Structure 1
Amino acid sequence: MASNSIVIIAGEASGDVLGAGLMRALLAHNPNLKFEGVGGPAMLELGFHSLVPMERLAVMGLVEVLGRLPELLALRRRLRKRYIASPPLAMIGIDAPDFNLNLETHLKRVGVPTVHYVSPSVWAWREERVFTVAKACHHVLALLPFEVPYYSKHQIPATFVGHRLADELPGQWTQEKARNQLNLAIDKPVLALLPGSRAMEVKQLAEEFILAALALQQRHPQLQVVLAAANEARYQQLQILLQEMGGDIHLALEQTRAVLAAADAVLVASGTATLETMLFAKPMLVCYRLSGLSYRLFKRKLQVPYVSLPNLLAGTGVVEELLQDQISVAKLVDKVQNLLFDPSIREQQQQAFHAMHDMLAQNADEQAAKVVAQVIAEQTGKELKDV
Structure 2
Amino acid sequence: MSAPHVFLVAAERSGDLLGAGLARELRSLTADKVRLSGIGGTAMAEQGIESAISIDGLSILGWIDGLKAYSRVKQAVSEAVDAILTAKPDVVVLIDSWGFTLRVAQGVRAADPAIRLVKYVGPQVFATRPGRAATLAASVDELLTILSFDAPYYEAHGLPVTFVGNPTLERLPRGNGAAFRTRHGITADEAVLVVLPGSRPSEIRRMMPPVVEALKRLTRDHADLRLVLPVADPVAGQVDAAIAVHPVLQSAIRVGETEKADAFASADLALACSGTVVTELATAGVPTITGYKLGWITWGLVRAFNLLKTPHISLVNIAADARLVPEIIQLKCTGKVLADEVERLLDDPVRRAELSVRLQAVTSEMRGSGQASRRAAEAVLAGLD
What's the TM-score once normalised by structure 2's chain length? 0.91
Distance 2:363 2:333 in 1: 28
**Match of 2:129?**
126
Q: Deviations over 1:97-129 (max 9, x none)?
A: 111122223434521111111121111112111
SS at match of 1:251: strand
SS at match of 2:224: coil
Deviation of 1:3 (Å): 6.7
**What percent of counterpart residues are identical?**
28
**Match of 2:264?**
260
Preserved CA contact (<8 Å) 1:180 1:186 = no
**Match of 2:175?**
173
Quick check: 254-263 or 324-333, which moved more? Answer: 254-263
SS at match of 2:56: helix
Distance 2:377 2:53 in 1: 25
Matched, 1:316 2:317: no
**Match of 1:145?**
148
Kindly tell me: are residues 182 and 156 of structure 1, through their superposed partners in 2, closer, same or farther at Cα, counting changes over 3 Å? farther
Matched, 1:291 2:292: no
Alignment counterpart, residue 219 of structure 1, candidates 221, 230, 234:
221
Alignment counterpart, residue 161 of structure 2, candidates 137, 145, 158:
158
Kindly tell me: are residues 260 and 50 of structure 1, through their superposed partners in 2, closer, same or farther at Cα, counting changes over 3 Å? same
Distance 2:166 2:179 in 1: 25
Kindly tell me: are residues 134 and 367 of structure 1, through their superposed partners in 2, closer, same or farther at Cα, counting changes over 3 Å? same
Quick check: 277-286 or 254-263, which moved more? Answer: 254-263
Quick check: 356-365 or 125-134, which moved more? Answer: 356-365
Alignment of 1:243-258 (within 5 A): 243-247=244-248, 248-254=251-257, 255-258=259-262
What runs of 5+ residues in structure 1 fail to find an aligned partner?
378-387
Kindly tell me: are residues 332 and 82 of structure 1, through their superposed partners in 2, closer, same or farther at Cα, counting changes over 3 Å? closer
**Match of 1:345?**
351
Preserved CA contact (<8 Å) 2:289 2:327 = yes
Alignment counterpart, residue 340 of structure 2, candidates 334, 345, 348:
334
Alignment of 1:80-91 (within 5 A): 80-91=81-92
**Match of 1:184?**
186
**Match of 1:364?**
372
What's the TM-score once normalised by structure 1's chain length? 0.91
Aligned length in residues: 374
Quick check: 60-69 or 338-347, which moved more? Answer: 338-347
Matched, 1:13 2:7: no
**Match of 1:53?**
54
SS at match of 1:63: helix
Deviation of 1:181 (Å): 4.2
Distance 1:207 1:262 in 2: 25
Matched, 1:210 2:212: yes
Preserved CA contact (<8 Å) 1:338 1:345 = no
Distance 1:139 1:72 in 2: 24
**Match of 1:383?**
none
**Match of 2:286?**
282
